[in-house]
């Protein structure tokens, strides 16, 4: 099995140097790495953690001193997250605008400071150098899904042929996910597995609390299942994204833009478990998925439908490649 190869329209010239600048949070970093990989690049990771008062002033204020953010400058910078924005502006100024600076997520400052900005559609950010997609960039590719599924086939060999992936998040700033909520969801999953004669391939996140996971285990004990517990199991044993590759359908809680978006890369039926809470942005995102028939709300039943897999990563990489080429020709 070969690894994913970027399309020619996305590849940057051989030897193009790339920095990824984030505060180290996995969500920001994985999105940026996915875009860099789609461009055919091997990025250098730069983590920034400005002290007070700089962290309070980000993204509007100046960048704090950081020995790793210094010349010689790379050809391309991909920055993401509020704390990274002052450094992206600093690099742009210090290099005399020679570095191509791409921002992932709404920078909260004018996009005109940068060469290209990506923001999700639900942020409703506009501008001549702004690109928006329904889902976020990620590291999931068809090739990686197939390879991971092959590697994990033995883990799930004892489950029934029909397999359902269950991807669980947890409470965050806008959503609640209590143990009682988990009990209700687990009961619905159990009934689904019994009715469909299906196996459940479950993975939790670090936001899924231990009490809720215990409730899940107890409810599912009578049906074929496998649970990866992100709080107690070894990180190297994480079956994600292999379970996405093996699944006939995917059930995912709605609390993570990244988790939901990664599920839609597969082109398989995606069911969203709507949790209590939410925000206007999340509502726009979820409703757009429903309107475009990419996902449906989980109601305990399984249906079959098709849609074109969403691939924001390649769209963003193609936009960066085109803008990068245009800038270099004009310099």
pLDDT (tens, 9 = 90+) of the chain, 331 residues, equals 223 344 555 789 889 999 999 999 988 999 999 999 999 999 999 999 999 999 999 999 999 999 999 999 999 999 999 999 999 999 999 999 999 999 999 999 999 999 999 999 999 999 999 999 999 999 999 899 999 999 999 999 999 999 999 999 999 999 999 999 999 999 999 999 999 999 999 999 999 999 999 999 999 999 999 999 999 999 999 999 899 999 999 999 999 999 999 999 999 999 999 999 999 999 999 999 999 999 999 999 999 899 999 999 999 999 999 999 988 876 6
Q: Quick one: which of 10, 19, 34 has its CA closest to 76?
A: 19
- CB burial of 16-27 (b: ≥16 within 10 Å; e: otherwise) equals bbbbbbbbeeeb
Q: Give all domains of the chain, ordered by start, each with its CATH number.
A: 18-134+313-330 (3.40.50), 142-297 (3.40.50.2000)
- Report the candidate in 267, 44, 256 with the shortest Cα–Cα distance to residue 167: 256
């Amino acid at each position: 099995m070969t690894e994913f190869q970027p399309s020619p329209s996305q590849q940057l010239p051989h030897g193009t140097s790339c920095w990824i600048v984030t505060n180290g949070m996995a969500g920001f970093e994985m999105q940026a790495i996915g875009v860099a990989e789609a461009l055919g690049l091997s990025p250098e990771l730069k983590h920034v953690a400005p002290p007070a008062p700089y962290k309070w002033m980000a993204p509007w204020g100046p960048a704090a001193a950081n020995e790793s953010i210094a010349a010689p400058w790379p050809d391309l910078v991909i920055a993401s997250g509020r704390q990274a924005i002052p450094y992206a502006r600093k690099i742009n100024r210090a290099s005399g605008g020679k570095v191509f600076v791409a921002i992932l997520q709404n920078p909260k400052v004018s996009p005109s400071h940068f060469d290209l900005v990506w923001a999700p559609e639900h942020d409703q950010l506009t501008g001549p150098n702004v690109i928006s997609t329904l889902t976020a960039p990620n590291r999931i590719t068809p090739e990686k899904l197939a390879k991971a599924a092959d590697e994990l086939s033995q883990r799930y060999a004892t489950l029934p042929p029909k397999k359902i992936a269950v991807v669980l998040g947890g409470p965050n700033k806008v959503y609640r996910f209590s143990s009682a909520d988990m009990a209700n969801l687990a009961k619905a999953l159990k009934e689904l597995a019994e009715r469909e004669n299906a196996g459940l391939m479950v993975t939790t996140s670090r936001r899924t609390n231990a009490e809720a996971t215990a409730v899940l285990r107890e409810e599912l004990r009578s049906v074929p299942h496998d649970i990866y517990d992100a709080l107690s199991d070894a990180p190297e044993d994480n079956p994600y994204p292999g379970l996405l590759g093996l699944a006939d359908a995917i059930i995912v809680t709605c609390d993570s833009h990244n988790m939901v978006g990664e599920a839609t890369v597969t082109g398989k039926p995606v069911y969203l478990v709507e949790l209590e809470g939410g925000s206007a942005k999340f509502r726009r995102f979820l409703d757009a998925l429903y309107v475009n028939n990419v996902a449906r709300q989980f109601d305990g039943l399984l249906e079959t439908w098709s849609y074109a897999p969403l691939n924001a990563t390649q769209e963003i990489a193609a936009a960066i490649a085109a803008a990068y080429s245009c800038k270099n020709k004009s310099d």
